Structure 1
């Protein structure tokens, strides 16, 4: 390690976790297992268009970003409004090209993986004290299913290294056997439970930090600074909900008042 790198690392708090490894298995056009070491001092993905930079960033986003904010290939979508060329289906199936059907004229994606198939993602963090936290996910489709509603997810977290090749060897979508095999790993059926657990381990107080990470790692520009700060760095104040409730209650009171006024007018009209 150079003196410059040592200087950078000395400035990092001992309890701060830093990414050191990313694994993807059958993720998009990354067929099979790809194990990518990440420099704790920092890293940069470079490469020509189509080399897989966004695919790896999307893997990281899937591991960390809450589903309601997750947007695949977000940078390209900002540049081309309405572009939706990547999804859970395209990543699990391994979409690599679009082909026009000669008979119908419809454009259909071409997939690397047909039939029942699964993908796995894992990221590993460590701090200067040697503590390790691993997050992993498994996503699968059965048969010829190609709808978003057909995708199934399983989430895992461990306070140790997680090696996809070893941990998921001979995995056949039997979650009961997997849980028995990985008894020291925490298993979750929903992203919210998984997120709450790993945020506590990593010391992330709010999921707004994950929303900010997802925005900054894939954005071509941040747009208006005020909007960026409000939407990505500030928690929604509780007074917003109070104000909304007051408006709703006022509307109910106003409706009741109008009913009374109408009834009074009707009574006055009917008087002899």
Structure 2
């Protein structure tokens, strides 16, 4: 196969004649396309037509945002009256499309932007395109962005780059959007995520057969020039845009951007690894607790049930009850001995007091206590006689 036959090297020499044809384009919250939308393409050709502001350029920009590098400007009809770097703040960009920018007005506080979505709240947007080949196989590429309310640049948004061999319903990302489009939530939908734009583009070029020998970026750059839809008024402009190669400084800038993409991917992986370590660190202690609980459960199962009189548990309970009763018996015995000793002590004191009383009685009798008793008896008799005589 000659260079001319391969369209100047843009068609791989090992091509099997496999041709991928766009089957449908899916949008969620992209520009004026609020909610979920699907555009189906005819297998032969599809013509997009409509009045100004009907959304033709918005669809083309969705395709550019999905397929082209971030340095590729959006459709010329969208940005023909503005200046600034491609997809910058002065031009239409991912944030303005994700929020559905309607217009902006000047106020005393500054520029007030009116949007369909994300006015003081988080929002998200997603684009997906599915291709089908002549064998019936399908391939889907997905890009999505979670845009926080405070996001001012695209770096503040969560970026998703993913592919899947087969068809994919973009509405499956709605649940992942509730988790801020985290990598784990996106992968749970069946998508294979990629960390950088370079990896994503390389996957598309390899699967769809775009370019030869790694020249897929050049093929897409040529396609971007053809599809730019910008007005060319001079031959000089024609050569600069359509013929001449880009300066070497742009290639260096692309390399720098790719390097930063790699650093961003590395940082993302480091953050994920740190989160994984933080989440998995307690597993060791949990494993020890699980083993201890398992051993206790095994011992309990080995002891049997307390309701079974023949089980070891019942025997242990009976032995434990005997031990407790023995302890109570020993305690009562000690208390009985102490009480007996106290009774003997009190009895000895009582015997001593009785002996002392008897001694005092003897002393009293020896000191005339009997005459005093006799006198008291005579006094009581005389008192009775006096009372009788008085009556």
TM-score, reference length from structure 1: 0.72
Where 2:62 maps in the other structure, the secondary structure is: helix
What are the equivalent positions in structure 2 for 1:17-166 lying under 5 Å apart? Answer: 17-68=20-71, 70-77=72-79, 79-80=80-81, 82=83, 84-101=90-107, 103-104=108-109, 106-114=110-118, 115-165=121-171
Where 2:73 maps in the other structure, the secondary structure is: coil
Where 2:201 maps in the other structure, the secondary structure is: helix
- 2:174 pairs with 160, 163, 169, which one? 169
Note the alpha carbon deviations across 1:137-180, whole angstroms, 9 max, x for none: 11121133233331221101111001112x21322224243244
**C-alpha displacement at 1:212, in angstroms?**
2.0
- Cα distance change of structure 1 residues 107 and 41 upon mapping to structure 2, 3 Å threshold: same
- Alignment partners' CA distance in 2, 1:191 and 1:215: 20
- Alignment partners' CA distance in 1, 2:73 and 2:187: 33
**Mapped contact 1:122–1:135 kept (Cα < 8 A):** yes
Give the gaps of 5 or more residues in structure 1: 1-12, 242-272
Q: CA RMSD in A?
A: 2.5
Where 1:209 maps in the other structure, the secondary structure is: helix
**Mapped contact 2:183–2:193 kept (Cα < 8 A):** no
- The question of 1:216 aligning with 2:222 is answered no
TM-score, reference length from structure 2: 0.51
- Cα distance change of structure 1 residues 66 and 110 upon mapping to structure 2, 3 Å threshold: same
**C-alpha displacement at 1:213, in angstroms?**
2.0
**Mapped contact 1:14–1:128 kept (Cα < 8 A):** no
- Alignment partners' CA distance in 2, 1:179 and 1:81: 35
**Mapped contact 1:57–1:218 kept (Cα < 8 A):** no
**Mapped contact 1:22–1:36 kept (Cα < 8 A):** yes
**Mapped contact 1:57–1:217 kept (Cα < 8 A):** no
- Alignment partners' CA distance in 1, 2:70 and 2:36: 24
Where 1:71 maps in the other structure, the secondary structure is: coil
Between 1 and 2, higher relative CO (CA 8 Å, sep ≥ 6) is seen in 1
**Mapped contact 1:122–1:134 kept (Cα < 8 A):** yes
**Mapped contact 1:73–1:86 kept (Cα < 8 A):** no
1:253 alignment counterpart: none
- Alignment partners' CA distance in 2, 1:26 and 1:127: 28
**Mapped contact 1:154–1:190 kept (Cα < 8 A):** no
- Bigger fraction of residues in strand: 1
**C-alpha displacement at 1:117, in angstroms?**
0.9
Structure 1 residue ranges (4+ consecutive) displaced by more than 6 angstroms after TM superposition:
none
